[in-house]
Amino acid sequence: MSRRPFVAGNWKMHKTAPEAAAFVSAFAADVPEGVDVAVCPPFTALAAAVGAARGTPVAVYAQNMHQAESGAFTGEVSAGMLLDAGVDGVLIGHSERRQLFGETDEGVSAKAAAAHAQGLRVILAVGETAEEREAALTEIVLERQVRAGLDGLTPDQVAATTIAYEPVWAIGTGLTATPDTAQAAHAFIRGLIEGLHGVGERVRIQYGGSVKPGNAAELFAQPDIDGGLIGGASLDPADLTAIAAAAR
């Protein structure tokens, strides 16, 4: 089955609203054919990015959300609020959320279910740490995270989920997984989803972790790598365009 490649930029805690709008306008002018593209601005820049992206192929995703519809959750934002801001989707379970902000598998699961229920698209991020890889726990960790993140979803919701495989040791480190290492993890995840939900061939699986214009093509050429989730190199529109072009 041919899956349409998907390249998303995770801006993390970067860019003001005017910077986000300027980026989206520049990026939207040159989106390669045949590739889905998105940016994930911080909450304060979502509305500006949505405004600039209107009528263009650029989708706008939030970097996090809360699973409840509303309530006494100081500092949190719900799926309904993201929809209200015109956002298309949400990134859930990024390793920085898991490692720095106490995100659990249970929380990730609840967030993914709530996002789908509200009609947001979902990128679900998974990945092992260096210690876990060295201890030969990579597949155990990926299985736990994938099982939890997709738990309770319908097959169509699973198929509509994008998985981002991001080995924690490759994020922001300049250490990219080799194409073979990444491909092995992607094939494992796809097989797992096929076994659990029967839609493994439909799910897009992005690679993330120090993807740059210079290494994107060899990663995206792997049969089970369907694009990328890009951090540092997504802050420059020309770099993100070059990476998206490599996914065609």
H or E stretch at 138: helix 138-150
Binding mask 205-234 for ligand PGA (x = CB under 6 A): ---xxxx-----------------xxxxx-
Query: Which residue lies nearest ligand PGA, judged by its C-beta?
Result: 231
Residue 49 or 171 having the CB closest to ligand PGA = 171
Asked if 190 and 200 count as a contact pair (C-beta separation under 8 A), the reply is yes
Rounded Cα–Cα distance for residues 103 and 95 (Å): 9
* Subset of 148-187 contacting ligand PGA (CB under 6 A): 166, 171-172
* Subset of 66-105 contacting ligand PGA (CB under 6 A): none
Residue 15 or 197 having the CB closest to ligand PGA = 15
Residue 50 or 123 having the CB closest to ligand PGA = 123
Q: Please tell me the count of residues contacting ligand PGA according to CB under 6 A.
A: 13
Residue 5 or 232 having the CB closest to ligand PGA = 232
Which ranges of the chain would DSSP assign to H, the alpha helix? 17-28, 43-53, 79-84, 95-100, 105-118, 130-134, 138-150, 155-160, 179-197, 216-220, 237-246
> Per rule CB under 6 A, is residue 62 in the interface with ligand PGA?
no
Asked if 122 and 114 count as a contact pair (C-beta separation under 8 A), the reply is no
Asked if 126 and 93 count as a contact pair (C-beta separation under 8 A), the reply is yes
Tokens standing for 58? 């650029």
User: 36: helix, coil or strand?
Assistant: strand
Amino acid residing at 181: T
Annotated catalytic residues are 94, 166
Binding mask 190-209 for ligand PGA (x = CB under 6 A): ------------------xx
Residue 12 or 147 having the CB closest to ligand PGA = 12
In the bound complex, what is the minimum distance in angstroms from residue 171's beta carbon to ligand PGA?
4
Amino acid residing at 174: G
Exposure of 87 in the CB half-sphere (CA atoms within 13 A): 31
Asked if 44 and 16 count as a contact pair (C-beta separation under 8 A), the reply is yes
Q: Which residues contact 34 (CB under 8 A, 6 or more apart)?
A: 4, 5, 248
Residues in the site for ligand PGA, rule: CB under 6 A? 10, 166, 171-172, 208-211, 229-233
